[in-house]
């Protein structure tokens, strides 16, 4: 028996862009039937490496081998023809077309005179869908499918060729737990067929559940490959960021001040009902729950983006009506929104201008914006938050996710808010910056800020919060102090198990 | 020249392409005809570009704010006809403010529809192009408008006068360019226009009143149109109903040629002025070369398509990309 040869091997890949050595001699090999995790912080070179593999960038030096045969990749189409397919994080489907048309897009089976052979198309598609074991058929309009099912269509597209290697780029970013299970099953099926899989993700939990080996990149350099069974999250993290990450419970105790914000019986249609809570100065209050539990909607209501049907909002004991973000800002409420790229930042603007945007009217000398005042604010928060950028004039879109998020946080801290709401503070942010943002939030609490943190990541909520509110389906299910909360009772509270008790108990 | 790869050249060409192309044109024209670089020719080009230029200044605000304004040509015809008509009825001193008021009202109406009602600006201003044309014809009864006593009115000073030897239209164009340039680059309002055009949702999340900012950009645009109408009326002291016809596209061309993105959020007044001058000099150069004036339509549009292509190319860092 001969030793199996890798389905895919990259050797000594170097890729430079003007001023940046994006990949510095990266090697990687994927064996048949292996799930190989590719990890690294944002900007470590994962995407560049995949673009080299997909023929979008030509490497300066280095070789790609498919089944040990040297290959030059020129385009994603050609890569696909060679059996290397990509499942992207951002789906590239045509919503208005059927599942079948999407799967065979560009290679529809034809009859004479260029007519589409619909019978064959639907038959072929259904055959593929059968192997994926999904609950929709070839004629379904893609726009009517859930995100998870759309992802299945993407995967189906990969299966039209007999793939040797499939690359998954953050496939679970928008999937629910149940949907993940289905995805993992598909990956396992591919594995048994001898397909090699590259799995890119930030989520340690998944990596340890489904991968065989883990390769780590840092600053464009290959840092090593670990066998998943023999390593630990800590070891991987160290390889990624050069140190380990602290995700211990929040046990800090500092004195809390007066009640800064009180919410009584707040309702907003179907989104949330009868929400009441109080937040003290110096306190970090975590909101935990599934996506759609109503947490973001509460934040948006407090920030004047939604109008409540009923209920009161009290700031420092005074009832306030908040009808627009302008009002909210005037009352000292700040919101770091969940969607950084669409809601948090003007990506084409520079760092300074983004940071000073909410208070630009106040930073004037005569009728003009005062350059000095603006730069002073930027410099202050750049140092305080350790924002790494070549200068204030750098376009925000060019920064890493972590630094972008710090710009948004700096923007709202500079408003000296009475209440700071942070929605998904570390979404899409690499491990190293994550720790910094966690520390920052805890520091803000210690400095006397009243902070609300909304997060879907349990370790994060447990790590930063003094108190946690668990939500399910628009209702506050339970409130925990950091002493009494456990992972188990938190999961129960947000999954609706307590909801039934709640109803029965009444 | 180490590191100057094929892709590198492409990137440089993509970034500076329009200036390079302009320089080549200018040198070519100058070599072909000495008169092209004579002072009086250059001054003549700037002067004849002034009306287009003033309109382009206003449209720059609208475009940076993320919208289109295709109504400016038709609105300029309206302003011209109205001020000429009122000149004889009310006298110039009242006719000018009355015309400004009416033109600003049109701008406010468009600003209301696009800003507060959140209607698509392309559709609104395209519709207004046609509607305002109808309004102009109704006002004039379809006839050309002329001032009765052309020799005896001081009204001609805006279009025909000179101060210290410099034609007044040039002074108004450049003066307005400086004022609006400063407004855009140095005031909180200008910053908000960039924010609203760059990412309207993020601007709203930063407490910027998006609707009001969009409204104001249209108000500024209509103000510039009123100034342009004044220059036009004062220069000719008589006008057809269609004097501004087609100018909306030339204005848009100048703004895009200057490098403002049609997606909003980028561009400057200075660049728009450059765009206006490029357009003016190329048209002038073609005429001096003895080509019929209608050739300029073809060449102008070829240049605009080139500019848009280079704009896209600059964003992706190479001239041609198989994907995206």
Q: Which two tokens stand for residue B76?
A: 């300029």
| Number of other CB atoms surrounding residue A324 within 10 Å | 15
Identify whether A393 is part of a domain. Answer: no
Give the Cα separation of A138 and B158 in Å (integer): 69
| Mean pLDDT rounded to a whole number for chain B | 89
pLDDT (mean) for B227-243: 95
Q: What is the pLDDT of residues B266-300, one digit of tens each?
A: 999 998 998 999 889 888 888 888 888 788 888 87
pLDDT class for B227, splitting at 50, 70, 90?
very high
- Among A241, A268, A298, identify where a domain stops: A241
**C-beta of residue A415 within 8 angstroms of C-beta of residue A359:** yes
Of A228-232, A495-499, B236-240, B310-314, minimum mean pLDDT range: A495-499
For residue A491, is it within any domain?
A: yes
pLDDT at A497: 61
| Contact state of A346 with B187 under an 8 Å Cβ cutoff | no
B201 belongs to a structural domain: yes
CB B74 within 8 A of CB B128: yes
pLDDT given for residue A495 in this prediction: 72
Q: Does a structural domain hold residue B142?
A: yes
State the virtual CA torsion across A370, A373, A375, A376 in degrees, nearest 10: 170
Question: For residue B140, is it within any domain?
Answer: yes
Domain boundary, last residue among A241, A270, A301: A241
Where helices occur in A295-448 by DSSP H, the ranges are: 295-302, 325-330, 351-356, 371-385, 401-413, 431-446
Strands across the sheet containing A272-280:
A272-280, A259-268, A310-315, A318-320
Q: How many domains does chain A have?
A: 2
CB contact under 8 A, A357 and B187: no
Do A225 and A266 belong to one domain?
no
Q: What pLDDT, on a 0 to 100 scale, did the predictor assign at position A505?
A: 40
Residue A354 lies inside a defined structural domain of this protein: no
pLDDT value at position B5?
53
Cβ of B205 and A344 within 8 Å?
Answer: yes
Map tokens 């060679």 to a residue: A82
Domain boundary among A241, A271, A302: A241
Place of tokens 């883990």: A214
- Find out whether A68 and A30 touch, Cβ atoms under 8 Å: no
Of the candidates B202, B242, B259, B209, the one whose C-alpha atom is nearest the C-alpha of residue B77 is: B242
Three-state DSSP state, A83: coil
- pLDDT-based confidence at residue B60 (cuts at 50, 70, 90): very high
Alpha helices, H only, chain B: 6-32, 39-64, 72-90, 92-111, 121-140, 157-160, 168-186, 188-198, 200-205, 210-236, 247-257, 269-288, 295-316
What is the Cα–Cα distance from A378 to A388, expressed in whole angstroms? Answer: 12
Burial grade of B33 (CB within 10 A; 0-12, 13-18, 19 or more): middle
B217 lies in which domain range? Answer: 49-245
ipTM of the predicted assembly exceeds 0.90? no
Question: Quick one: pLDDT band at residue B319, thresholds 50, 70, 90?
Answer: low
For chains A and B, what is the number of CB pairs under 8 angstroms?
73
Query: If phi over 0 gives left and psi between -120 and 50 gives alpha, with beta otherwise, what is residue A103?
Result: alpha
A contact test, residue of B15, B190, B207, B260 with most A CBs within 10 A: B207
Query: Tokens in use for B99?
Result: 């015309």
Q: Rounded to whole angstroms, how far apart are CA atoms A85 and A162?
A: 10
Q: Considering only CB atoms, which residues of chain A are within 8 Å of chain B?
A: 18, 56, 75-76, 303, 305, 324-326, 328-329, 335, 337, 342-349, 353, 357-358, 360-361, 363-364, 367-369, 411
Residues of chain A whose pLDDT is less than 70? 1-2, 18-20, 42-43, 90, 174, 243-253, 496-506
A102 CA: distance to closest CA in chain B (Å): 18
Q: Measured between beta carbons, which residues in chain B are less than 8 angstroms from residue A368?
A: 182, 186-187
- Domain assignment present for residue B59? The answer is yes
How far apart, in whole angstroms, are the C-alpha atoms of residue A451 and residue A281?
8
Same domain (yes/no): A109, A231: yes
Q: How confident is the model at residue B23 (pLDDT cuts 50, 70, 90)?
A: confident
Same domain, A47 and A76: yes
- Same domain membership, residue A265 and residue A212: no
CA distance A107 to A91: 19
Q: Are residues A172 and A107 in the same domain?
A: yes
Contact: A75, B322; criterion CB under 8 Å: yes
Q: Judge if A206 and A333 occupy the same domain.
A: no
> Is B187 in Cβ contact with A367 (below 8 Å)?
yes
CA dihedral A210, A166, A163, A156 (to 10 degrees): 90
* Chain A residues inside the 8 Å CB shell of B15: none
Regarding whether A62 and A104 lie in a shared domain, the answer is yes
CB contact under 8 Å between A325 and B191, yes or no, is no
Residue A432 structural domain: 259-342+418-505
How confident is the model over B78-106, as a mean pLDDT? Answer: 97
What pLDDT score does A220 carry? 83
CATH of the domain at A467: 3.40.50.300
Question: CA of B194, closest CA in chain A: separation in Å?
Answer: 8
**pLDDT category of residue B39 using cuts at 50, 70 and 90:** confident
Question: How many beta carbons lie within 10 A of that of residue A421, not counting itself?
Answer: 27
The pLDDT value recorded for residue B3 is 43
Task: Give phi and psi for A198, each to the nearest 5.
Answer: -105, 125
Residue A141 to residue A120: CA distance in whole angstroms: 18
Q: How far apart are CA A407 and CA A346, in angstroms?
A: 11
d(CA A363, CA A371) in angstroms, rounded, equals: 8
A219 shares a domain with A111: yes
Residues 6+ apart with CB under 8 A from A332: A315, A415, A416, A417, A418, A419
Statement to judge: residues A89 and A163 lie in one domain:
yes
According to the model, what pLDDT value does residue A247 have?
A: 66
Number of domains in chain B: 1
**Residue A22 sits in the same domain as residue A151:** yes
Question: Is B103 contained in some domain?
Answer: yes
Kind plus residue range of the DSSP H or E element containing A500:
helix A497-505
Asked whether residue A215 is domain-assigned, the answer is: yes
Residue A504 is predicted with a pLDDT of: 42
Q: Name the nearest CA neighbour of A451 among A258, A256, A255, A282.
A: A282
Give the best residue of B5, B202, B321 to mutate against chain A (max A CB count within 10 A).
Answer: B202
Q: Does residue B38 form part of some domain?
A: no
**Which ranges of A133-176 does DSSP label H, i.e. alpha helix?**
147-158
Give the pLDDT band (50/70/90) at residue B16: low
- Does residue B80 fall inside a structural domain? yes
- Do A349 and B265 count as a contact with CB atoms less than 8 A apart? yes
Note whether A152 and A124 are same-domain residues: yes
Domain membership flag for residue A382: no
Q: Is the pLDDT of residue B4 over 50?
A: no
Q: Which of B311, B196, B220, B313 is nearest to B260 (CA)?
A: B311
Query: What's the rounded Cα separation, in Å, for the pair A156 and B206?
Result: 41
Q: How far apart are CA B306 and CA B18, in angstroms?
A: 8
A179, A217: one domain: yes
Give A76's contacts (C-beta < 8 A, 6+ positions apart).
A54, A55, A56, A86, B323
Supply the pLDDT for residue A114. Answer: 87
Other beta carbons within 10 angstroms of residue A373's beta carbon come to: 15
* Predicted local confidence at residue B8, as pLDDT: 61
Q: Indicate if the alpha-carbon torsion angle B183, B186, B188, B193 is positive or negative.
A: positive
Q: Is residue A355 part of a domain?
A: no
DSSP string, B144-180: -EE-S-STT-GGGHHHH-EETTEEHHHHHHHHHHHHH
- Neighbour count for residue B151 (Cβ, 10 Å): 7
Is A345 close to B202, i.e. CB distance below 8 A? Answer: yes
Residue B200 lies in a domain: yes
Are A477 and A448 spatial neighbours (Cβ–Cβ below 8 Å)?
no
| Structure tokens that stand for B312 in this block | 């896209």
What mean pLDDT comes out for the span B178-203? Answer: 97
**Nearest chain B alpha carbon to A342:** B202
Distance, in angstroms, between A384 CA and closest chain B CA?
21
């Amino acid at each position: 028996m001969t030793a199996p040869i890798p389905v895919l091997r990259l050797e000594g890949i170097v890729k430079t862009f003007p001023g940046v050595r994006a990949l510095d001699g990266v090697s990687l090999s994927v064996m048949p039937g292996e799930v190989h995790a590719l990890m690294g912080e944002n900007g470590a070179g994962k995407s560049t490496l995949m673009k080299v593999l997909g023929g979008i960038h030509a490497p300066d030096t280095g070789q790609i081998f498919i089944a040990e045969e040297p290959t030059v990749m020129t385009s994603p189409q050609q890569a696909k023809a060679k059996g290397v397919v990509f499942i992207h994080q951002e789906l590239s489907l045509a919503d208005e077309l059927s599942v079948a048309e999407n799967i065979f897009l560009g290679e529809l089976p034809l009859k004479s005179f260029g007519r589409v052979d619909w019978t064959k198309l639907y038959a072929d598609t259904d055959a593929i869908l059968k192997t994926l074991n999904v609950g929709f058929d070839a004629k379904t309009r893609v726009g009517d499918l859930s995100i998870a099912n759309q992802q299945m269509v993407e995967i189906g597209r990969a299966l039209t060729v007999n793939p040797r290697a499939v690359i998954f780029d953050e496939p679970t970013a928008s999937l629910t737990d149940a949907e993940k299970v289905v995805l993992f099953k598909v990956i396992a099926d591919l594995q048994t067929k001898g397909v090699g899989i590259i799995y890119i993700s930030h989520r340690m939990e998944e990596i340890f559940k489904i991968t065989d080996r883990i390769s780590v990149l840092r600053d464009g350099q290959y840092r090593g490959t670990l066998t998943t069974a023999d390593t630990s999250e800590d070891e991987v993290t160290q390889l990624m960021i050069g140190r380990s990450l602290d995700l211990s419970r929040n046990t800090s105790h500092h004195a809390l001040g007066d009640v800064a914000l009180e919410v009584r019986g707040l309702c907003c249609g179907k989104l949330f009902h009868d929400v009441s809570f109080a937040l003290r100065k110096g306190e970090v209050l975590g909101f935990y729950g599934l996506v759609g539990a109503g947490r973001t909607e509460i934040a948006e209501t407090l920030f004047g983006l939604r109008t409540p049907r009923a209920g009161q909002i009290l700031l420092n004991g005074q009832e306030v009506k908040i009808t627009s973000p302008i009002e909210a800002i005037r009352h000292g409420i700040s919101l770091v929104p969940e969607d950084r790229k669409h809601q948090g930042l003007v990506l084409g603007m520079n760092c300074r201008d983004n940071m000073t945007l909410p208070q630009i009217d106040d930073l004037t000398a005569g009728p003009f914006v005062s350059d000095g005042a603006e730069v002073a604010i930027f410099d202050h928060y750049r140092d305080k938050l350790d924002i790494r950028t070549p200068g204030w004039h750098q376009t925000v879109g060019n920064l890493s996710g972590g630094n972008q998020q710090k710009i948004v946080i700096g923007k709202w801290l500079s408003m000296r808010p009475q209440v700071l709401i942070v929605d998904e503070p570390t979404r899409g942010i690499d491990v190293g910056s994550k720790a910094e943002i966690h520390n920052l939030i805890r520091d803000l609490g210690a400095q006397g800020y009243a902070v609300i943190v909304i997060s879907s990541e349990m370790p994060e909520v447990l790590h930063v919060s003094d108190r946690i509110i668990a939500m399910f389906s628009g209702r506050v299910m339970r409130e925990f102090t950091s002493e009494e909360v456990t992972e188990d009772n938190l999961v129960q509270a947000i999954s609706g198990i307590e909801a039934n008790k709640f109803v029965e108990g009444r | 020249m180490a590191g100057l790869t094929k892709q590198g050249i492409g990137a440089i060409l993509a970034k500076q392409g329009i200036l390079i192309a302009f320089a080549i044109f200018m040198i070519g024209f100058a070599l072909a005809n000495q008169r092209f670089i004579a002072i009086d020719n250059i001054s003549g080009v700037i002067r004849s570009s002034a009306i287009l230029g003033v309109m382009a200044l206003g449209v720059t605000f609208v475009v940076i704010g993320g919208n289109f304004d295709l109504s400016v040509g038709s609105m300029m015809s309206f302003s011209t006809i109205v001020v000429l008509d009122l000149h004889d009825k009310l006298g110039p001193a009242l006719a000018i403010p009355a015309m400004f008021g009416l033109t600003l009202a049109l701008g406010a109406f468009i600003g209301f529809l696009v800003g507060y009602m959140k209607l698509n600006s392309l559709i609104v201003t395209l519709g207004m192009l046609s509607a305002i044309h109808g309004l102009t014809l109704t006002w004039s009864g379809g006839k050309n408008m002329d001032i009765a006593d052309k020799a005896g009115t001081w009204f001609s000073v805006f279009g025909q006068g000179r101060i210290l030897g410099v034609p007044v239209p040039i002074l108004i164009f450049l003066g307005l360019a400086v004022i609006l340039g400063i407004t855009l680059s140095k005031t909180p309002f200008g910053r908000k226009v960039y924010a609203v055009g760059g990412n309207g949702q993020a601007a709203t999340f930063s407490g910027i009143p998006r609707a009001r900012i969009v409204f104001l950009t249209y108000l500024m645009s209509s103000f510039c149109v009123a100034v342009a109408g004044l220059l036009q009326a004062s220069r000719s002291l008589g006008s057809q109903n269609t004097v501004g016809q087609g100018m909306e596209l030339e204005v848009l061309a100048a703004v895009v040629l200057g490098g403002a993105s049609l997606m909003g959020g980028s561009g400057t007044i200075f660049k728009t002025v450059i765009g206006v001058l490029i357009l003016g000099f190329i048209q002038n150069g073609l005429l001096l070369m003895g080509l019929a004036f209608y050739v300029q339509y073809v060449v102008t549009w070829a240049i605009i398509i080139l500019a848009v292509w280079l704009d896209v190319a600059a964003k992706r860092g190479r001239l041609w990309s198989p994907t995206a």
